[in-house]
Chains A and B, each alone.
Chain A
Amino acid sequence: MDAPFESSAEEVARLRDCLTDLASIMALPALSTGGEPGQIVSTLTDALLGMLRLAFVCVRLNDSEGGPSIETMRIGDTLGGTARSDVSFASARLGLDGELGIVVAGSWRLDFPVVTERVLLDVAANQAAIGLQQARLLQRAGLQSEQKGIMDTIPGLVAMLTPAGEVDVVNHELVEYCGQGLDAMKDWGTNGTVHADDLPRIGPVFTRAIASGTPYDFEARVRRFDGVYRWCQIRGLPHRDTSEHIARWYVLLTDINDQKRAEEALSRARSELAHVSRVTTLSALTASIAHEVNQPLSGIITNASTCLRMLAADPPDIDGARVTATRTIRDGNRASDVIVRLRELFIRKEFALEPLDLNEAAREVIALSSNDLQRNRVILQSELADGLSFVTGDRIQLQQVILNLLRNASDAMVDVHDRPRQLLIKTEREDGQRVRLAVRDAGVGLSPRSIDSLFDAFYTTKSGGMGIGLFVSRSIVEKHHGRLWAQPNDGPGATFFLSIPCASEIVADAATAVRHS
């Protein structure tokens, strides 16, 4: 009869002990008020070891920055009276998902842990977790204020980012410059701190840098306190801890607006100068061409005048007229020779014929000009036909033609802002043993009137152009027994075509053999 009462009294005693222990755990200031993590861990292990009379207790504490974890083990004094080999375990997580670490307790008692012990263990672990969280926050706040203190002394615009790229600390100078505090700075990607036009360009660069942990460096317009956007160079450098993990990013902003304006002015002046010198060259060239052509023209007119007078005489001087007419023809040919010489002036004299793959030649040119095209925000698409026959030609000269077509296409799209600057380069087999290369742009296009004069020397629609490019290009292509022509697109822009005959089979075979050897 006494047994239930007795066991109930025992139960009450055990509960009382448990409550006392709980109270003392709650009262341990070191656990919950956020002391040093090491101190929290040792307080926790001491308390558990004593209260639960454990054989041992282990704590693994994870590093907040992702570094190696710290493990602490304490072994109890007693072996439980007897030399026993069986140990019972219980564990509790530190933090909701165990992100802070884990506590493992071991006891010689086989019934460990009873409910009250379980509760104690959990509460102790919970208290320690709160303490550890707080310790981390304090440590971070301390770091932040320490960092800010240092950063404020730097005479420059400096920010610190978290490893994930969030703005964490901004120095005094940056706050003054932008006229906004840390909270506004955090939303730099959406609140106009950086010019909206620059975001599409720098956004991906920034995201990639943060993801890959590589330094970044770009230019963007940043809004100053007075609302004026100024060009800034923005450089970010990751700071790594001893375990090579990125602990934070340091960002340095430099106002380069004045430099940039000066650079722009300089480059404008340079291009104007280049234009002037081109024009000067052009006028010198025109003068010499005029001189060369005027000589035979003068002869033609003089001879024709003489011829007419001889025929009008009474009696007509037929023989004399015949001689002067012959001279007229000769002078006409002379004028035409001048034009031929002029063309040769612009074309390399040596003509190195070799069997070549137009696709490969085009690829090289594309690689060469990809930087220029990117700078002009041209989207280049290439559709190079498989198994294209070889052509015979001078590689360098044909590449000059292709380069010229790509440049023209890119230049034609400089003022295009309402649609993508699409540029398509395409090769294909043509009927009649010919290969065709097309360069299609989405630029200003061609008027029917300009199509006729496009290939004339000194014809240009570009302010900086000399109008030699297409003229020379056509000469080169004609030397390859090919054709070069232009066509307006159905949509915006124009397409330039280059068509040249294939190399004879023998030459193509030889070339293939050489390439495979």
Chain B
Amino acid sequence: MIGTRSLVSVVDDDESVRESLPDLIRQFGFAARAFSSAEAFLASDVLNQTSCLLLDIAMPGMSGTELQEELLRRRHAIPIVFVTATGDRTVRPRVIGQGAVECLFKPFSETALLTAINAALGTR
């Protein structure tokens, strides 16, 4: 299954996001997996299959940006789309400067999400 469709992985500590986002992503026609923490994602078996990572920034334990650095360090060049509930717009240029494809502010539209995922897949 995963081999035929691009896999989009979601890492977010918020349960409702983990429930809702994968369903929508699947509606877009991608495969989806959800993880509740950066550590759980790093420990999973999908690191190499993931074509796009939807990553929350503020999480207990390892933060989204720390995961970004860790992936760089491990040379896993997974395109990252950050999703955050913060209202602080200065976050976006910062994370994009560090190599993220996009940074979406919650709540975001499905169009914005699809555009961001497509952009991420296009960079691969």
Mark A residues whose CB is within 8 Å of B: 286-287, 290-291, 294-303, 305-306, 309-310, 320, 324, 327, 330-331, 334
Chain B contacts with A in 75-113, Cβ cutoff 8 A: 83, 85-88, 105-110, 113
User: Across the two chains, which residue of chain A brings its CB closest to B27?
Assistant: A309
Residue of A305, A309, A334 ringed by the most chain B CB atoms within 10 A: A305
- The residue from B14, B21, B27, B88 contacting A295, defined by CB atoms under 8 A apart: B14
B66 close to A (CB within 8 Å):
no
Does A301 lie within 8 Å of B88, measured CB to CB?
no
Which residues of chain A are near B83, meaning CB under 8 Å? 298
User: From A299, which residue of chain B is reached at the shortest CB distance?
Assistant: B16
A contact residues around B107 at 8 Å (CB): 294, 297-298, 300-302
Q: How far is the CA of A324 from the CA of B108 in the complex (A)?
A: 17
Residues in chain B near residue A309, CB distance under 8 A: 24, 27
Residues of B within 8 A of A320 (CB): 23
Q: Interface residue count for B (Cβ, 8 Å)?
A: 21
Across-interface contacts of A305 in B (CB, < 8 A): 24, 27, 109-110
Inter-chain contact total with CB atoms closer than 8 Å: 71
Can you give 20 contacting A-B residue pairs, CB < 8 Å?
A: A290-B86, A291-B87, A295-B14, A295-B16, A295-B17, A296-B16, A298-B106, A299-B17, A299-B19, A300-B107, A301-B110, A302-B21, A302-B110, A305-B109, A309-B24, A320-B23, A327-B16, A331-B16, A331-B20, A334-B16
What 0/1 readout, one digit per residue, does chain B (4-21) give for beta carbons within 8 Å of chain A?
000000000010110111
Taking CB atoms, residues of chain A closer than 8 Å to B87 are: 286-287, 290-291, 294
Give the docked Cα–Cα distance between A6 and B21 (Å): 149
CB distance from B25 to the nearest CB of A (A): 9
Partner of A306, one of B14, B16, B20, B86: B20
> Whose C-beta in chain A lies nearest to the C-beta of B23?
A306
The minimal Cβ–Cβ distance linking A337 to chain B, given in whole angstroms, is 12
Q: How far is the CA of A320 from the CA of B20 in the complex (A)?
A: 11
Main secondary structure, interface of A, reads helix
Q: Kindly name the residue among A290, A296, A302 whose own CB sees the greatest number of chain B CB atoms within 10 A.
A: A302
Query: What residues of chain B lie closer than 8 Å to A298, measured between beta carbons?
Result: 17, 83, 85, 106-108
Q: A294 touching B85 by the CB < 8 A rule?
A: yes
Per a CB cutoff under 8 Å, which of A286, A294, A302, A310 touches B20? A302
- Among residues 1 to 48 in chain B, which have CB atoms less than 8 Å away from a CB atom of chain A? 14, 16-17, 19-21, 23-24, 27
Which residue from B20, B27, B109, B113 sits with its C-beta under 8 Å from A299? Answer: B20
Nearest to B58 among chain A residues (CB) is: A291
List the A residue with the shortest CB-CB distance to B16: A299
Q: Which chain A positions have C-beta within 8 A of B86?
A: 287, 290-291, 294
Cross-chain contact A295 with B106 (CB below 8 angstroms) = yes
Q: Is the CB of B106 within 8 A of A297?
A: yes
Q: Which residues of the partner chain A approach B27 to less than 8 Å between Cβ atoms?
A: 305-306, 309-310
Contact: A324 with B17, CB < 8 Å?
no
Give chain A residues whose Cβ lies under 8 Å from the Cβ of B24.
302, 305-306, 309
Closest to B88 in A: A287
Cα distance A147–B108 when bound, in Å? 86
List A contacts of B14 (CB < 8 A).
295, 299
| CB neighbours of A300 from chain B (8 A) | 107
Q: Is the CB of A295 within 8 A of B85?
A: yes
B108: chain A residues at CB < 8 Å are 298, 301
